[in-house]
Amino acid sequence: MRATTGMVRACDVGTPSVRPGTDDITPTTIASRISSRDEMDHPGCAYHAPPVDGTDPPASAVVARRACLRAPSGARILDCIDWQVGAADRWVVLGSNGSGKTSLLRLAGAQVRPTSGTVDVLGRRLGRTDMRELRRHIGVASTAVSEQLRPTLSAHDAVVTARHGALEPWWHAYEPDDHARADELLDAMGCGALRDRALVTLSQGERQRVTIARALMPCPGLLLLDEPAAGLDLPAREDLLARLALLAGHPDAPPMVLVTHHLEEIPPGITHVLLLRDGRAVAAGPIDETLTAALLSDTFGFAVSVACRDGRWTAWATIRPEP
């Protein structure tokens, strides 16, 4: 794997525009809606969860050393991954279909343990800790999570139930502060007006934003986003990326890992990139130094050019098929 070193030049988050008809947000409002202890008067309402074992938070949210993951058949899924997610890092993982992106996210989310090598998440080594307890401190937004939720569940209940990692509101009792936090998170994601709407009635973009609000509900120590902009039209994608940019740029937000196929779905504020091909890391490091045409072409096996403008990335083919 090729790794790069040096200082990270964080993208300028700024104050992005959002789609008409959604709640306008600014860095100030998202900070107050999601992470302000004073205004919400809700103990522990900042992004970070308490340390899993009651000690100081670990310096790194994820540390993988020669981590391998194999299918029951023995087929290689991930091979010798060395990767470290710092406490203030915002990573994007890029690669083609079948490259191992979602499997890597499952390792980081303590859904599986490595076949060999080691993976430490929030200071706990997978295979030597209660992974069910560890998962309570990890926020995950993915299609798999969304599909587990009952379609007739309201947006509010879909968020508040994450307080206990539940799927139904009657499984646990909730305090008024829990309901207030769920509403604040819906507001921050531009979904406040959807509070009482059933999930089945929401657009894909609306449902994606509700799922991210749910991931933030338990004050996670690590936030994992699996293709959050997949399937969205242009206005919905830009609205979502604007909100993710504000989240990435907030100093109290947890370390973040976002998986995508497309450079255009990388929000400003992402600091690092990991490039995967066939279960192996091609390169990892600060995004400005690592997301190059040469390395991306190697990752996808396809010649591309890469550009970044105003914190937004794009790629296009440099070799056109012959007529």
Contact 39, 32 (CB under 8 A): yes
- The pLDDT tens digits of the residues spanning 168-220 come to 888 888 889 999 999 999 998 989 999 999 999 999 889 999 999 999 999 99
Contact 77, 28 (CB under 8 A): no
Return left, alpha or beta for 67; rule: phi > 0 is left, psi -120 to 50 is alpha, else beta.
beta
DSSP code for 320 = P
pLDDT of residue 170: 84
Listed residue (13, 47, 10) closest to 242, CA to CA: 13
- Report how far residue 260's alpha carbon sits from residue 95's, in angstroms, rounded to the nearest whole number: 8
pTM comes to 0.81
- The pLDDT tens digits of the residues spanning 251-303 come to 889 999 999 999 999 999 999 999 999 999 999 999 999 999 999 999 999 99
Q: What percent of the chain has pLDDT over 90?
A: 67
Helix (H, G, I), strand (E, B) or coil at 256: strand
Give me the mean pLDDT over the 66-95 stretch.
95
Q: What percent of the chain has pLDDT over 70?
A: 81
- The pLDDT tens digits of the residues spanning 131-168 come to 989 998 999 999 888 889 999 999 999 999 998 888 88
Listed residue (193, 184, 133, 134) closest to 159, CA to CA: 184
* Average pLDDT score over the chain: 83
